[in-house]
Amino acid sequence: MEKTDTPESALRVARHNVRGRLNALKLCISALEILNDPKEVQEFLAMIDQSADAMVVALDDFDAVSDRMPAPQQQG
């Protein structure tokens, strides 16, 4: 995970990483709809597998960052 200066910037980076992995999954799945060559289909299935693994890591990082965030201040 990238180094960040503040908890807020760490959270922003973690959210960005999760969105990036989700977009990679969506693009690979969309490509499957138009592919006819079995070799290309296998390549995209491998990319989906890799993206899913990367998503697990990104979500773990997001959880770790969000756990370190300060609790919101109560008004009142």
**Which residue range forms the structural domain that includes residue 54?**
7-67
Using one digit for the tens of pLDDT, what is the confidence trace for 52-63?
999 999 999 999
Count CB-CB contacts under 10 A for residue 10.
21
Number of structural domains the chain divides into = 1
In a domain, 73, yes or no: no
What is the model's pTM? 0.78
The mean pLDDT of 38-66, rounded to a whole number, is 95
Q: Assess if residue 2 is contained within a domain.
A: no
| In-domain check, residue 75 | no
Give the percent of the chain with pLDDT over 70: 93
Identify whether 52 is part of a domain: yes
